[in-house]
């Protein structure tokens, strides 16, 4: 019989919290190298392309959605308080790293730039100025913002009930929508980001957890695994 899933949020303990900070730091440095490097390479190229459809230029800009767009920061900070096991945190870090690497390849292969005209965001302008320092200028296809959100929120929802999964899926959808309504991405970026995130979850995160469960069963078949097993 499978053990019941622990509460959604909980204290991970100082040791695991420290490990989460270390893993998060490594992933951040990896992201900086890939994301920043790809943006710099695109900035010096003369073969940049536009990937938008004409109808996308009619998508309104809703400045307040920058708060939803940047909710990804809080999402990452929640990781050790939701996953609360070393294997799950390692699995998430590996999935994020692989998705980041795959996106970096896409950025280099398809050097794209936004087609939206600059806008005045009024009272929200400071948020956009701060955001520009993080997302830089290029790196559109796929949307790494969307892909990382899908990987992380899918991990949070694994093994949860319908309500929990639905709320997390709604958060992911809101972040994806915010990339369009803040004019940070085009439709192609979002679609490919969703696909990349789904692949990262299924091919890296879930497989790593399943492999750990299998190894634990071989060592002690009668003992339950210390890590929650993903549903079939």
Task: List the chain domain ranges.
Answer: 14-110+120-213
Q: What is the pTM of this model?
A: 0.90
Does pLDDT of 22 surpass 90?
yes
Q: How confident is the model at residue 223 (pLDDT cuts 50, 70, 90)?
A: very low
Per cent of the chain over pLDDT 70 is: 89
Contact yes or no for 175/68 (Cβ under 8 A): yes
| Per-residue model confidence as pLDDT tens digits over 93-116 | 999 999 999 999 999 999 999 999
| Per-residue model confidence as pLDDT tens digits over 129-158 | 999 999 999 999 999 999 999 999 999 999
Q: Report the chain's mean pLDDT, rounded to a whole number.
A: 92
Q: How confident is the model at residue 210 (pLDDT cuts 50, 70, 90)?
A: confident
């Amino acid at each position: 019989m499978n053990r019941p899933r622990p509460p959604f949020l909980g204290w991970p303990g100082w040791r695991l919290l420290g490990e989460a900070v270390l893993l998060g730091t490594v992933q951040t440095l990896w992201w900086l190298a890939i994301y920043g490097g790809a943006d710099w390479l695109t900035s010096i190229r003369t073969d940049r392309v536009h990937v938008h459809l004409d109808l996308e230029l009619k998508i309104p800009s809703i400045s307040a959605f920058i708060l939803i767009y940047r909710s990804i920061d809080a999402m990452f900070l929640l990781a050790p308080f939701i996953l609360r096991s070393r294997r799950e945190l390692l699995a998430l870090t590996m999935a994020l790293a692989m998705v980041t690497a795959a996106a970096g390849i896409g950025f280099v292969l398809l050097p794209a730039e936004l087609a939206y005209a600059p806008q005045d965001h009024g009272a929200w302008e400071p948020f956009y100025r701060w955001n520009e320092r993080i997302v830089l200028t290029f790196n559109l296809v796929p949307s790494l913002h969307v892909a990382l959100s899908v990987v992380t929120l899918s991990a949070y929802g694994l093994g949860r009930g319908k309500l929990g999964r639905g709320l997390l899926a709604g958060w992911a959808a809101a972040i994806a929508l915010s990339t369009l309504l803040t004019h940070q991405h085009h439709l192609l970026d979002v679609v490919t980001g969703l696909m990349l995130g789904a692949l990262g979850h299924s091919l890296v995160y879930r497989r790593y957890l399943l492999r750990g469960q299998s190894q634990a069963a071989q060592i002690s078949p009668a003992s339950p695994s210390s890590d929650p097993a993903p549903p079939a």
